[in-house]
Structures are given as C-alpha cells and as structure tokens.
C-alpha cells in the first residue's frame, strides 16, 4: 500500500494542476476575446470600480502565467501557491459582493458567466481546497516540515484576503468621494411603469401638490396643466392676470402650495394666485430683473440675475417685506472666464430639506445653500471638467458672444431629499458609446456631503430624448418629446433620501 501511495499523490497533483490550467486558460481567453466588455463589467463592480483599468489586464496575465507555470514540474509548486492565492482572492471578493456590497452586479465574464454568485463562491472554495491538497502532497514529496507548509499556505490566503479588502475600501472611497469618472450602474434602479401623451413637447415641471403634478407650457404660458401621478387624467386651466399690459418675453409658472406663481424676469413682474382659482395678482413689479427664480414662500424668492456693476451673473434674494427688498450675493458664482457664460447653470430648490442648489452647466460643480443664500457646501460631479471650456468674445456694445460651441457638462436636474439627479452630457470611462446613442445618463449625488451614489439610464423614446426630470419619494417623472413617463425607484435609490421630519419638528419648536 505504501508503495502505491506516491503514484496516487502524483495523480492528484497532476489532476489538480490540469484542472487549474483548464479553468485559468478558459477564463483568460473568454475575457480576452471580449476584453472591452469584461473591463466595462469590472468597472461596474461595487468593490473594484476604481481599479478596473489596472485589474482587468492584470487578472488575464496572471491567469495565463499561472497556467503556464502549472505545465512544468519545476514551477508547479510555485504555480499551485499562486493559484491558491488567486482563488482565495476571488473567494473573498465574491463574499464581499454578497455581504457588503451596495448592490450585486452582473457577472463579469469567463466561468462566472455560467454560474450565479453563490454557486461561484462554492466553486472557488472547492478549488481553493483542491490547491491546498495538491500543495500538501507536493511539499510532502519534498519532505517539507508541516509547520512550514501551514505557514506557506496561510500567509498567501491572508495576503489575498487583505489585498481584496484593501482594494474594496480604497475603491469605495475613490468612487464615492474622489471619483476619476467611472460610473456605476446598479441592477434595475428604476422601473418603467407608465406613460401619457400630452400632445405637445413644450411642457415643463412647475411643481406638485397632493398627488397632482403641475406643468407649465412654453408655447401657452398662461395655461397651467395638472396630471395625477397615476398618469390617467389631465386637466388644464387658463390663468387670468390682473395686468396684461407688459412686454412679456418669457413667462414661466411655478407652484408652491397654497399658491401658484407666474413671472417674467425681463419685465420684471411676479404674479401670485390661489390654487383652485384662475386669477393671479401682481405682487412684484420692477423690483429686480432676473433670468431664473425659485419661490421660498409667498413673499420671498431667490433669483439669478446679471449684476449691473460687474456684468457677471449673481444670485440674489427678493423679500417683499424687507427694506431694501433685494439683496445680492456676488461671491457665490465664481468667475472663470467671463463671469457670464462660464457661470451658467440651473437654480433648484429641495422641497424636502428647503436647501437651494446651483448646478453649473459647463463645469463639474454644484453649490448647496440655505434659503438666505449662505453657502453650505461646494460639491462636484464625477467628470473631470473643473474649468468651463467656453470661448467668449467681447462686442463693441459691451455684450459678450461665444466664439465656439462650449463643452456642456450638465444638462438638466432634479433634487429631492438631499439627492441630486443630474443628467450628464459626458461619457465616462469604460462606457458603451452605443448605449449613449440610445439613452440619457442620470447620475445621483448626495447634497449633504461629497458622495456619488450611482447612475441609471433613461432610454430614448424613438427620436425623443429626456428633456426634464422631476423626483418624488417613490418615482422619477420624465418629459420626453410629448410624453410624460413615470419610473419607480428601487429601494437602492429611495434609501438615500432624507426625510423632512426632523427639520419640520425643529421648525415647529421655534
């Protein structure tokens, strides 16, 4: 019996080696044949996203190198130790995915493609055990001491586990706080539920009250339309103004219960009406010119305007009860080129937290402010365009004109519960150009601190692309062409929302 034992040892060692060769060659070739897809899928990993560009080729090279080492008797033991190290690393990676990941990604090529994550965890554990058996038998042939074999087996496993955990922690920090423009697309963060054809492509979101979405219309500015959140009924009301004798150029509507507001900053005039009534009265006339406006309450507003002194864009506050009514904050919007085009962006209000946001159009930055326009946080999006790429020429009459089309970074936004939904205009690393031709990309960010939360696609409706966003506790509504569409958020999105209960309680005590 003792004479036959070395033969069985040899068979087991060769069998383990050949199985590893088969697995590694198959996996490496599969990844290599579809390398771009493998790298894209690895970039979606919630553990290793930040290192996809390095890890993708490194894994393939290491698998092929280990397969080669296992072919030769002189390097087989080293190859088995390396195989054990790599298999332990894969096992720890899958364990972290299943237990500590924000989401479980799709498979990423090779044999993983044929198995689920749990099944592959079992597969890896079995192969790691097979490597240990082969290592022990091979070390016994060399008469190695048992304690040496144990140490040489335990140390690689600890090193592999530590390396994967370290990469995970480092990658999470980089992706969420110091992103180098790698997006993560979770599994089904939104679900397409329903759509309604509005009959025109000129609508925009004006607000929401008691389950009714209010829509303004750029081509019919005195028509206010309501649609229920189930997208089953649509009603329109024609607004009557107490004074129509102004040279209107761009009337817009906004709803903040219990009132609706119509305004045109080129006049400048602001009207206010009671919801349920069609008559709107003038509450502000010639107090200040503005290009954007957000309602704070029935008598106070924040706006964006052009400073008469510096000719740059500024943010300001209009309070009809104060004297003076208008107060400007000329330090919030930072000039990079001309102070006009380079500071272009969108002024938003979070109805849950009552914070204000200003999202720059041509740079990767957004500001978070309180209702008094005090700067709370200066945060950035994950692209790398920190300086507005605009070319501006000054005209003889003092006006400015763009010399070339600018690089648009951010297109349209919505904010809800300290989560910013930002439609990006720039393609990130490891992303498919074909998908970009068929869909818009919406990135999610916390507004309470610097953190990127993930991204999702909103697919085009034929030739119609996303034009406006509106977010609620459970849904995101999208205007695309003449349609309004409703998507339901997955729990992976809604868990990031902050409720307004604590703030409302605190306000009730004051």
Residues 336, 379, single domain; the answer is: yes
At what angle are helices 117-141 and 146-177 packed, to 10 degrees?
Answer: 150
Q: Is residue 184 part of a domain?
A: no
**Strand pairing of 279-285 and 240-241?**
parallel
Residues 113, 227, single domain; the answer is: no
Residues 137, 198, single domain; the answer is: no
Question: In terms of Cα–Cα distance, which of 369, 368, 417, 363 is closest to 390?
Answer: 363
Residues 231, 169, single domain; the answer is: no
Domain C-terminal end among 153, 177, 201: 177
Instruction: List the structure tokens of 188.
Output: 């089904």
**Strand pairing of 410-416 and 419-424?**
antiparallel
* 356 three-state secondary structure: strand
Question: In terms of Cα–Cα distance, which of 27, 24, 33, 54 is closest to 42?
Answer: 54
> Residue 76's domain spans which residues?
5-177
What does the alpha-carbon distance between residue 368 and residue 410 come to, in Å, rounded to a whole number?
Answer: 16
**Phi, psi torsion values for 102, nearest 5 degrees:** -65, -30
What does the alpha-carbon distance between residue 499 and residue 413 come to, in Å, rounded to a whole number?
Answer: 20
**Dihedral of the alpha carbons of 48, 52, 58, 63, in degrees to the nearest 10:** 70
CA angle 478, 294, 352 (to 5 degrees): 65
Which residues in the chain show pLDDT less than 50?
A: 1-5, 108-111, 501-510
185 DSSP assignment = B
- Write a three-state SS string for 46-88: CCCHHHHHHHHHHHHHHHHHHHHHHCCCCCHHHHHHHHHHHHH
Cβ-Cβ contacts under 8 Å for 195 (sequence gap 6 or more): 231, 461, 483, 484, 485, 486
Q: How far is CA 347 from the centre of its chain?
A: 19
Residues 361, 267, single domain; the answer is: yes
What does the alpha-carbon distance between residue 202 and residue 348 come to, in Å, rounded to a whole number?
Answer: 20
Domain C-terminal end among 149, 177, 205: 177
Domain C-terminal end among 177, 208, 227: 177
Q: Is residue 340 part of a domain?
A: yes
Q: How far is CA 345 from CA 121, 341, 477, in A?
A: 48, 9, 21
What does the alpha-carbon distance between residue 101 and residue 340 come to, in Å, rounded to a whole number?
Answer: 43
Residues 167, 226, single domain; the answer is: no
Q: Is residue 182 part of a domain?
A: no
pTM, two decimals, is 0.76
Give the CATH number for residue 495: 2.120.10.30
Q: What's the N-to-C CA distance of the chain in angstroms?
A: 89
Question: In terms of Cα–Cα distance, which of 24, 49, 18 is closest to 111?
Answer: 24
Q: How far is CA 320 from CA 283, 328, 347, in A?
A: 8, 14, 20
Residues 35, 84, single domain; the answer is: yes
Residues 155, 202, single domain; the answer is: no
Q: Is residue 185 part of a domain?
A: no
Residues 248, 341, single domain; the answer is: yes
Q: Is residue 183 part of a domain?
A: no
CB 460, CB 439: distance < 8 Å: yes
- pLDDT score of 501: 45
What does the alpha-carbon distance between residue 393 and residue 107 come to, in Å, rounded to a whole number?
Answer: 51
Buried b (16+ CB within 10 A) or exposed e, 392-407: beeeeeeebeeeeebb
- Write a three-state SS string for 234-262: EEEEECEECCCCCCCCCCEEEEECCEEEE
CA angle 158, 164, 166 (to 5 degrees): 95
Residues 235, 116, single domain; the answer is: no
Q: Which residues are bridge partners to 415 per DSSP? A: 420
Q: CA gyration radius for the chain?
A: 30
Number of domains in the chain: 2
Residues 289, 368, single domain; the answer is: yes
Residues 74, 197, single domain; the answer is: no
- pLDDT score of 507: 38
């Amino acid at each position: 019996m003792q004479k036959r034992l070395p033969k069985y040892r040899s068979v087991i060692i060769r069998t383990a080696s050949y199985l590893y060769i088969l697995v590694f060659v198959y996996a490496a070739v599969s990844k290599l044949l579809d390398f771009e897809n493998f790298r894209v899928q690895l970039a979606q990993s919630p553990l290793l996203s930040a290192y996809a560009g390095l890890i993708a080729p490194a894994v393939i090279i290491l698998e092929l190198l280990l397969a080669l080492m296992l072919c030769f008797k002189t390097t087989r033991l080293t190859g088995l130790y390396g195989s054990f190290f790599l298999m332990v690393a894969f096992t720890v990676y899958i364990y972290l995915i299943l237990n500590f990941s924000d989401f479980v990604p799709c498979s990423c090529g090779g044999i993983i493609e044929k198995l689920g994550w749990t099944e592959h965890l079992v597969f890896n554990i079995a192969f790691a055990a097979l490597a240990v058996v082969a290592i022990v038998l091979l070390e016994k042939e060399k008469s190695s001491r048992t304690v040496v074999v144990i140490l040489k087996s335990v140390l690689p496993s600890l090193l592999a586990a530590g390396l994967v955990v370290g990469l995970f922690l480092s990658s999470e920090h980089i992706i969420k706080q110091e992103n180098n423009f790698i997006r993560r697309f979770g599994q089904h963060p939104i679900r397409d539920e329903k759509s309604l054809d509005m009959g025109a492509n000129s609508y925009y979101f004006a607000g929401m009250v008691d389950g009714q979405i209010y829509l303004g219309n750029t081509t019919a500015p005195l028509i206010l339309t309501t649609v229920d959140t189930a997208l089953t009924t649509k009603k329109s009301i024609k607004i009557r103004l107490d004074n129509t004798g102004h040279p209107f150029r761009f009337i817009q509507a906004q709803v903040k219960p219990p009132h609706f507001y119509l305004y045109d900053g080129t006049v400048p005039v602001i009207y206010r009406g009671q919801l349920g009534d069609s008559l709107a009265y003038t509450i502000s006339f010639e107090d200040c010119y503005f290009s954007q406006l957000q309602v704070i309450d029935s008598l106070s507003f924040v706006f964006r305007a052009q400073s008469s002194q510096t000719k740059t864009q500024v943010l300001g506050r209009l309070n009809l009860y104060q004297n003076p009514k208008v107060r400007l904050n000329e330090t919030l919007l930072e000039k990079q080129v001309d102070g006009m085009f380079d500071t272009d962006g969108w002024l938003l209000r979070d109805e849950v937290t009552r914070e204000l946001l200003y999202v720059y159009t041509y740079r990767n930055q957004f500001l978070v402010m309180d209702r008094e326009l005090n700067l709370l946080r200066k945060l950035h999006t994950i692209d790398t365009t920190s300086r507005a790429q605009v070319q501006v020429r000054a005209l003889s009459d003092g006006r400015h004109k763009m010399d070339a089309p600018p690089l648009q970074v951010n297109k349209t936004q919505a904010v809800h519960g300290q989560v910013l939904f930002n439609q990006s205009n720039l393609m990130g690393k490891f992303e498919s150009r074909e998908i970009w031709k068929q869909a818009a990309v919406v990135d999610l960010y916390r507004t309470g601190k610097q953190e990127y939360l993930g991204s999702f696609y909103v697919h085009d409706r034929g030739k119609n692309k996303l034009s406006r966003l509106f977010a609620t506790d459970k849904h995101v509504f999208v205007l695309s062409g003449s349609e309004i569409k409703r998507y339901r958020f997955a729990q992976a999105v809604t868990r990031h929302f902050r409720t307004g209960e604590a703030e409302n309680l605190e306000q009730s005590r004051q």
